[in-house]
Amino acid sequence: MNRWLFGVLVLITTSLMGSSFAIGKIGLQYVSPLLLVGIRFTLAGVLMALFVVKRNHPRSLWVWLKIGTIGLFQTAGVMGCIFISLRTIAASESSILTFMNPLLVVIFGTIFMGARYRLVQWSGVILGFVGAFITLGFHLHFRSGTWLAFLSAVSWAIATLLVKNWGKQIDTWVLTAYQMLFGGVLLLVAGVTIEHPIFVVSGVSIAIELWLAIMASVVQFGVWFFLLQQGDAGKTSAFLFLAPFFGVISGWLLLGEAVTWEVLIGGVLIFLGIFLVNWPAQRPIQDAGEVSLE
């Protein structure tokens, strides 16, 4: 694949990924958090399900339960925590904490799945957590949004390990579509039951929902999985560090959020940590993707 085209597609998908935090925070002025993401991912899931209708679908109930479990963590858990966190913390802070998930993958993979990682990857984990501490202003008096943003990273890390182990037996596009639909329906149900649902119908609120559902979900996921199929998944995943960068920039441009030196320094350390975690090995080594949950 042409490197320039690859670079453009990387910028498109990571900018859509990162800017969704600021756009989502604007959407919270019109729609309650869980309802906002519930509509977003239910709509995106339906559109993607129509797109994959002719692809191979699972025939086993057990496989469908696996897809539902992934949707519980990847869509419902991650997005529910992110958008509720945006009520009390800045979009830039939420994006940085959420994208700590590659660092948590290393820790969880080691503890729960017997994975082995190299020194450079553990260095990345330590550097990433130092960066997170700096980003939060050198204190541990976290707000509720801080905990929720961190929980979104935890949920994403769990989903990553599940996808690594279960994803091989499921068509990638089918998995993406239905985990999104399942998680979206869960969020939609939660949005009309456990919170007071609010939806101020206007051109802005509808435009935000459509942008988040189509551009920041269907297009973003589609481009990302296309890139993963084109080259080495490990090297491609290293570009995820661009997403929180775009989260900080979009928060500054769209919301006027102040970019403090703690956020800048902490963000750089987190990005560097994620990059080291994704540093390719020179020889085969067991990782979380090679350990079966069966």
- Domain contains 253: yes
Say which residue the tokens 């969704």 belong to.
20
Q: What is the mean pLDDT of residues 69-89?
A: 92
Q: State the pLDDT at residue 41.
A: 95
67, two tokens: 């897809």
Q: State the pLDDT at residue 284.
A: 43
In angstroms, what CA-CA distances link 55 with 46, 149, 177?
A: 15, 35, 11
Give the three-class secondary structure for 114: coil
Per the rule left: phi > 0, alpha: psi between -120 and 50, beta: everything else, 221 is: alpha
- Domain contains 45: yes
Say which residue the tokens 């090995």 belong to.
281
What pLDDT, in 10s, does the model give residues 165-199? 887 888 888 998 999 999 999 999 999 998 899 99
Torsion angles phi and psi, residue 137, rounded to 5:
85, 25
The whole model's pTM is what? 0.82
For 75-84, 195-204, 259-268, 277-286, which range has the lowest pLDDT when averaged over its residues?
Answer: 277-286
Task: Give the bridge partners for 31, in sequence order.
Answer: 199
- Domain contains 3: no
- Domain contains 176: yes
Q: 131-135, 145-149, 237-241 — which one is most confidently predicted on average?
A: 145-149
Q: How far apart are alpha carbons 290 and 89 in whole angstroms?
A: 37
- Domain contains 8: no
Number of domains in the chain: 1
- Domain contains 6: no
152, two tokens: 């979104």
Could you tell me which residue, 198 or 2, shows the higher pLDDT?
198
- Domain contains 12: no
Tell me which amino acid residue 237 is. S
Domain extent, residue 39, equals 20-290
Say which residue the tokens 């496989």 belong to.
63
Per the rule left: phi > 0, alpha: psi between -120 and 50, beta: everything else, 256 is: left
- Domain contains 13: no
In angstroms, what CA-CA distances link 268 with 8, 21, 255?
A: 22, 19, 21
Helix axes 78-85, 91-98, angle to 10 degrees: 150
